[in-house]
Amino acid sequence: MWRIVLFFLLLYQIGNSQLQFTELTTNLGNIAEAAEIKGDVIIKNTSDKKIYLMRADAENGVKVYVTKKTLLANDTCLMIISFVPERNGKFTKKINLVASNTTKPYELSISGTLLNFKPDNKQACFYFGSRKPTTIAPTDIPIVVQQEDKPKDNSNKIPDPVPSPKPDKPKEIVKPKPTNTVSEYFSRENYKPNNLIFLVDVSSSMRDSLKLPLMKNALHILIDKVRDVDSITFITYASKVTVLSEAVSGADKKKLHTLVDSLKAKGMTSGNKAILLSQQIGQKHFIAAGNNQIFLATDGEFKFAKEDYQKWKENQKDKKIIVSTIAFGDDKDALKNLKQIAEKGEGSFIPIKSKNGSSDKLLNEIKLRSRTN
């Protein structure tokens, strides 16, 4: 299914409304082709009280989902807007979000021009953080949509979030056939094979709607670009270190996407041994004439003691592994710590604070390390 992801770039505050949104009115311009158009909006509670997202009023066919329905003070969530266009041409979709802090709804709109509507009989409802209906997260909660042509009442107030049941016999989403865009990113002539190890912090602090989901989005885009000569290993750490997969071929995109969808934040952070295990696995699948690289993704400080670094250097020998760090959040001590680890690992420090450009940063780092000339 073709996906058009709308991400509003700048935060916009509605007077003294206490809820802060990404840009309220966005024009997508000309859209070459799509079977379904989707967008996501970040919402922040800037007050010191709870705010409940009650209802989304929209015209027929528009679906709205949120990652949270109750926003605590300074809390954030992601709202997903999705609709299936009926024909080519200009479109404008308006959504009125009703919240508990004001009697006046928040007004959002999406507009643009669809040049080619591509029907797809196997479309599935979109849930944030997953490409398949088999991995719906309990926090992916639909907002009840009140259609404009029906009388409004209070019968559609949203209850407290409850886990969404998984279907007994989920249908697999048919993905579009590969295009020639892979060669644009990693042509065999210009880029060496990649042995990529992603060491991802899945502690509870990464549950923030702006952290782990951003990492997953960047990984999904990367997976679509890698080749059969590339391999990807996924290792997670929280209260324990878990190897999810070792050296999965870039050609096995279905498995790689599924692994990324399975990443969920939980537990406490304890990753002092994770980086040495990542080095060991990276060397196990070492590509002599390739790019062998660990990406450490976290929002906090990573314990990499002097003795750990000494052991790291001793293990390098003729199988050198580069370490780059992907940093989330604004913790100054954590950012300083991750910069130092990247310097010791002879890699790059990659800060990520928004969805805009996060996948480009990751792709450009791999291109830099794997370039043949």
Q: Full-prediction pTM beyond 0.85?
A: no
The predicted pLDDT at position 143 comes to 57
Close Cβ partners of 351 (under 8 Å, ≥ 6 residues apart): 327, 328, 335
Asked whether the beta carbons of 85 and 113 are under 8 A apart, the reply is no
Q: Where are the domains of the chain?
A: 3-147, 181-370
Cα separation of the two ends of the chain: 36
If one counts every other C-beta atom within 10 angstroms of the C-beta of residue 111, the result is 14
Burial of 364 (0-12, 13-18, 19+ CB in 10 A): middle
Q: What is the C-alpha to C-alpha distance for residues 58 and 60, in angstroms, rounded to an integer?
A: 7
Count the helices and strands in the chain (H runs, E runs).
7, 19
Q: Which stretches of the chain drop beneath a pLDDT of 70?
A: 1-17, 119-185, 208-209, 267-272, 355-356
**What pLDDT sits at residue 29?**
76
**What are 210-247's pLDDT values in tens digits?**
788 888 888 999 999 999 999 999 999 887 889 999 99
pLDDT at 267: 58
Output the pLDDT for position 270: 56
CA triple 205-346-215, angle to 5 deg: 30
Read off the pLDDT of residues 185-211 as tens digits, 9 standing for 90 and up: 688 889 999 999 999 988 877 876 678
Taking alpha carbons only, the member of 96, 116, 92 closest to residue 104 is 96
Fold of 3-147: Immunoglobulin-like (2.60.40)
Fold of 181-370: Rossmann fold (3.40.50)
